[in-house]
Structure 1
């Protein structure tokens, strides 16, 4: 737990911690939320049951599956902002078109892309016993992933070092971008 004082931004800010399954979105997202005083939400918890079952069966989601889920994530961020809060959302946000949906939430939406070598990801996903996403879908996610564009409000952070070091690097990169 961080002992640093939290400061609430004048404009609600949402940090979308993005990347493929197994990159550390939830771990880094919780640390970022702790350090910023924002509410942490795991977008996986917002998937409709049909999406979860499809992924559990090893079938990648398509854009039709993702559309209502992305709208729910965006609307959740907007509701938090409407209540005067900020959030950190762990969400794959693999394509620029998906991030465009999220960017329309109330408040400022910034992206933190956690970059992990492909050979590390499958091992991480295989080691998770309590998640619906099978390691077989990592390849599909990597094929879908589009890097942040120059016009997107976000940073790419290598997932090297321990989670505290990655969180510190993410906050420094975001501060440097302003």
Structure 2
């Protein structure tokens, strides 16, 4: 089996809440005609119930969800030239679970600093911004290092159209 191919590749848009994962994925999917899956749709009922009750998920809660995302990535890369999955994938072990058995999977890390993302969250219409939630996200984030060569970094300190164009350029040159 080949290691990586330009065709039939899955890109996981990762980053903290508020980094623009869904907006960027939607725009990139539209421009490229790519398949797009919001990873939150694959949470098991128990996780949805827990989050609805205001309880944070722990690593044990996330394992069945990450395995479902891994299976979705496997299926998507078999049927689509380019597929996008939105998943924060904040920890290396989460990324490793997504990689397992999916050699045609890469990550697009939407990287921005705390102040930039906090200001964007405050500006969202109809969104109640809780600064502590963002603090928690940054505390959980294990930034990809040099050992994760399948992670492509997108600077989000630019307008959405430019972030999407940067992501597309990375996809086309990967």
| Band the TM-score falls in, shorter-chain normalisation | 0.7 to 0.9
State the Cα distance separating 1:15 from its structure 2 match.
0.8
In structure 1, the partner of 2:138 is: 142
Matched, 1:92 2:74: no
Matched, 1:168 2:165: yes
CA contact (8 A) 2:77 2:104 kept: no
Count the aligned residue pairs: 168
State the Cα distance separating 1:144 from its structure 2 match.
0.9
What's the TM-score, normalizing by structure 1?
0.80
Matches within 5 A, 1:5-154: 11-125=7-121, 127=124, 129=126, 136-152=132-148, 153-154=150-151
- Change over 3 Å in CA distance of 1:25–1:69 after alignment to 2: same
Structure 1 gaps, min length 5: 1-8
State the Cα distance separating 1:62 from its structure 2 match.
1.2
In structure 2, the partner of 1:155 is: 152
State the Cα distance separating 1:72 from its structure 2 match.
0.7
Q: CA RMSD in A?
A: 2.6
Which moves more between the two structures, 46-55 or 31-40? 46-55
CA contact (8 A) 1:21 1:92 kept: yes
Q: Distance in 2 between matches of 1:139 and 1:116?
A: 13
SS of aligned partner of 2:13 = strand
CA contact (8 A) 2:38 2:86 kept: yes
Q: What do the CA deviations read for 1:29-68 (whole angstroms, capped 9, x no partner)?
A: 1122223322011101111233234334443321101101
State the Cα distance separating 1:122 from its structure 2 match.
3.9
What's the TM-score, normalizing by structure 2?
0.82
SS of aligned partner of 1:169 = helix
CA contact (8 A) 2:34 2:80 kept: no
CA contact (8 A) 1:80 1:87 kept: yes
CA contact (8 A) 1:16 1:111 kept: yes
